[in-house]
C-alpha cells in the first residue's frame, strides 16, 4: 500500500514522485511549486515552452490557479500611414503616446487573456515635391489622430533562467475621438519663395460636435 502521508510530504517539500496511470508511469510534482515543475522539465529533458498535464480534483481547485492581474501602461509609439501615390512623395513615421489599464487572467501554464481600455495617438507626415523648370512646389502635410481602443490579447510568458519573456497578440476595436491636420504649401520661383500658405483643421468628437476649422495661419504672395 502506498504511504500517502509520505507522498504528501514529498510533494509539499518540492519533490518529484512516480505514479501509475492506465498505460505508463507518470512523473509528478506540486504544480504550484515552480522549482518542482522545473525539476520535472529537467528529468523529462523537455523544453519549458512545451506544456505539461495538470491534475485537479475539482473546478474550484482549477479556478484557484487562475490569477487576475491589473496592468497600468503609459508609453510611446511610432506610427505611419502608407498608400499608393506619386513617386515624388516622402512619408515618415511620427511619434505618439498610449496610456490606459489592462485586466488579465493568468494561467499556471504561462498563458494569459488580457483586455482593457487604451488611449492611443497615431499620425503621419507627408511631403510632396513638384518641380518644373525654374518653378518648384513643396507641400507638407501632418496628421494626428486620437483613439480609444479596447484590445483582446492572448499572451504567453516564457521564463528562461533569470529572464522572463512576454508575447502578446490579438485584435482590438477602436473609436476615433479627435484628429487634427496641418497643411503647408510653398511655391518657389528661381529658388525664391513666392507664395506660402498654412491651413489647420481640427476634428473633435469628445463633446458630441464636429469642429472643422480652417484657419489660415499665414498666407502671403510676392
Taking residue 29's Cβ as centre, other Cβ atoms within 10 Å add up to 20
**What pTM value is reported for the model?**
0.58
Residue 185 has pLDDT above 50, yes or no: yes
What pLDDT, on a 0 to 100 scale, did the predictor assign at position 118? 95
Q: Give the residue, 134 or 112, on which the prediction is more confident.
A: 112
Distance, in Å, from the CA atom of 217 to the CA atom of 201, rounded to the nearest integer, reads 11
Instruction: For 29-57, write each residue's pLDDT tens digit.
Output: 998 888 888 899 999 888 877 878 888 88
Query: Where exactly are the structural domains of the chain?
Result: 4-63, 67-221
Q: For 48, what's the count of Cα atoms within 13 Å in the CB-facing half-sphere?
A: 19
Residue 210 has pLDDT above 80, yes or no: no
What pLDDT, on a 0 to 100 scale, did the predictor assign at position 171? 95
What pLDDT, on a 0 to 100 scale, did the predictor assign at position 89? 67
For residues 19 and 8, is the Cβ–Cβ distance under 8 A?
no
Q: Give the residue, 107 or 91, on which the prediction is more confident.
A: 107
Distance, in Å, from the CA atom of 110 to the CA atom of 211, rounded to the nearest integer, reads 47
What pLDDT, on a 0 to 100 scale, did the predictor assign at position 115? 96
Provide the residue count of the chain.
222
Sign of dihedral through CA atoms 54, 59, 61, 65?
A: positive
What pLDDT, on a 0 to 100 scale, did the predictor assign at position 58? 85
Mean pLDDT of the chain: 81
Residue 175 has pLDDT above 60, yes or no: yes
Residue 153 pLDDT level (bands cut at 50, 70, 90): very high
Residue 148 pLDDT level (bands cut at 50, 70, 90): very high
Among the residue ranges 123-127, 148-152, 202-206, the one predicted with the least confidence is 202-206
Residue 106 has pLDDT above 70, yes or no: yes
Section 201-210 average pLDDT: 58
Residue 172 pLDDT level (bands cut at 50, 70, 90): very high
What pLDDT, on a 0 to 100 scale, did the predictor assign at position 209? 47
Element (H, E) at 185: strand 172-189
Strand partners, 195: 187, 221
Section 138-160 average pLDDT: 87
Amino acid at each position: 500500500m502506498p504511504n500517502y502521508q509520505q507522498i504528501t510530504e514529498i510533494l509539499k517539500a518540492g519533490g518529484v514522485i512516480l505514479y501509475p496511470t492506465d498505460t505508463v508511469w507518470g512523473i509528478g510534482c506540486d504544480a504550484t511549486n515552480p522549482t518542482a515543475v522545473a525539476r520535472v522539465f529537467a528529468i523529462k529533458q523537455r523544453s519549458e515552452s512545451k506544456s505539461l498535464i495538470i491534475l485537479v480534483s475539482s473546478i474550484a481547485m482549477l479556478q484557484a490557479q487562475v490569477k487576475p492581474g491589473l496592468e497600468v501602461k503609459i508609453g510611446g509609439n511610432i506610427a505611419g500611414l502608407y498608400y499608393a501615390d506619386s513617386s515624388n512623395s516622402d512619408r515618415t513615421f511620427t511619434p505618439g503616446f498610449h496610456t490606459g489599464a489592462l485586466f488579465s487572467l493568468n494561467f499556471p501554464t504561462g498563458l494569459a487573456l488580457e483586455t482593457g481600455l487604451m488611449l492611443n495617438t497615431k499620425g503621419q507626415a507627408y511631403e510632396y515635391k513638384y518641380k518644373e523648370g525654374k518653378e518648384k512646389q513643396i507641400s507638407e502635410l501632418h496628421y494626428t489622430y486620437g483613439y480609444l481602443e479596447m484590445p483582446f490579447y492572448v499572451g504567453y510568458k516564457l521564463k528562461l533562467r533569470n529572464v522572463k519573456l512576454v508575447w502578446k497578440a490579438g485584435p482590438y476595436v477602436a473609436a476615433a475621438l479627435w484628429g487634427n491636420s496641418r497643411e503647408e504649401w510653398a511655391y518657389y520661383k528661381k529658388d525664391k519663395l513666392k507664395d506660402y500658405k498654412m491651413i489647420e483643421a481640427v476634428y473633435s468628437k469628445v463633446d458630441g460636435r464636429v469642429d472643422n476649422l480652417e484657419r489660415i495661419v499665414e498666407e502671403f504672395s510676392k
